[in-house]
Structure 1
Amino acid sequence: MHRLRFDHFSIDQGLPSTGIMTVYQTRNGFVWMGTANGLVRYDGRHIRLFSHMPALESTISHDRIFSLFEDDQQRLWIGTRRGLNVFDLRSDVIQRIPMPVDMHSKQQMIYGISQAEEGRLWLATSTGLMLFDPNSKKFIRWQADAALETDFQGEVRALISDKAGGVWIGQGSTVAHINHRAQLQHHVKTTQAQLGMALQQSQTQVRSLAFDSQGQLWVGMTGGLRI
């Protein structure tokens, strides 16, 4: 029987906060932590903190970090409470990405980031699913057909790649698959009785998604877990 060994990191070891929102390992082996009070890089020995400084554009746009993703150009994309940032891992330069002018500051939360086709990125945001083009710096809102519009309202709190340029998302009580062409393939409501558990609406909000080795999709909700 294997015994697990844990090392504990907290404020005493240099973390800016005990609230860890996301953890991500880049290809160079560094472990990055998005916290409630800044971005942390851990190289196995030392912790380095990247913080928001309002007057300095070369810093992250907000200290609350929700999501991290490394693309194939050695850029670390950072989803914060106030929009999107990109960190060039080769030069250690951070750039703030201008958000759409019609997005109020409280609507700029980026909960998830995933690769799309043609170098674009899928973004799970507080106003829904978006596509972002790093070259043009343009954001495109993804919208379902009008007949399904009520199923796709509000924030997207969970996002996972389908490994083919598309994504699975969790939006409210809806789980959906959007393919690489931005076409809706499947969607299901977690409120459906045939899924096994009778839950109240407040318990069916999707918060996380994960695939297991058999290809089954696990859905983490505010009131439990479903497959």
Structure 2
Amino acid sequence: MTSDQGLVHNHINCTLRDQYNYMWFGTESGLSRFDGLQFTNFRYSSNKGIGLSSNPISALFEGPEGQVWIRTSSKMNVYDQKKGVIIQNIDSILHVLNLPIGDPEMIRDFGDHEYAILYRDSSLVLFDSRSKKKSVLYPLKIKK
């Protein structure tokens, strides 16, 4: 797959196959979603709130409720599968999930609706998306 076929950029930093079988490609110039036939591309939007907060994508995660979490060079964004939009300010999403407000750096799905979420401030949250219960380990202590 190349930009000639519709990919937003030829340099791919990360990929994700979500639960709906879309293939996501994070690149230096934005995000591409492939449905098996064609690409839908997403790029930086100066519209605060909707669209990517910056173009370089370093990581993609499938989070609770099937949303795609997009680590841009500036902050985490979320693609809302139900609304079909990328949300820059994810505080409301974090609030609904009963997660701490902040900037998640990465998410790991452990299966059975359990996640580990590492924030930029080094706090680690263990989260059950069914019960919305969380355990916050803050700050993350690393022994030297």
What's the counterpart of residue 144 of structure 1?
141
Residue matched to 1:70: 62
Mapped to 2, the partners of 1:57 and 1:26 lie a distance apart of 23
Aligned partners of 2:138, 2:109: CA distance in 1, in Å?
A: 16
1:35 — aligned with what? Answer: 27
4+ residue runs over 4 A deviation? 116-121, 127-130, 132-135
- Say how many residue pairs are matched: 126
8 A contact 1:79–1:113 mirrored in 2: no
**Does structure 2 retain, via aligned residues, the 8 Å contact 1:75–1:87?**
yes
Structure having the higher Rg: 1
Instruction: Confirm or deny: 8 A CA contact 2:49 2:88 kept in the other structure.
Output: yes
2:18 is equivalent to residue 18 of structure 1: no
CA contact (8 A) 2:63 2:107 kept: no
Percent of residue pairs identical: 23
Of residues 33-42 and 12-21 in structure 1, the stretch that sits farther from structure 2 once superposed is: 12-21
Please say if residues 83 and 97 of structure 1, whose CA atoms lie closer than 8 Å, have aligned partners that are also in contact.
no
Q: What pairs with 1:43-62 in structure 2 (closer than 5 Å)?
A: 43-62=35-54
CA distance in 2, matches of 1:132, 1:78: 19
TM-score scaled by length of structure 2: 0.69
Bigger relative contact order, structure 1 or 2, given CA contacts below 8 A and separation 6+?
2
- 62-71 or 41-50, which moves further after superposition? 62-71
The gaps in structure 2 that reach 5 residues or longer are: 92-102
RMSD across aligned positions (CA): 3.2
Contact between 2:2 and 2:10, CA under 8 Å: does it hold in 1? Answer: yes
Distance 1:70 1:27 in 2: 8
Q: What is the deviation of 1:120?
A: 5.9
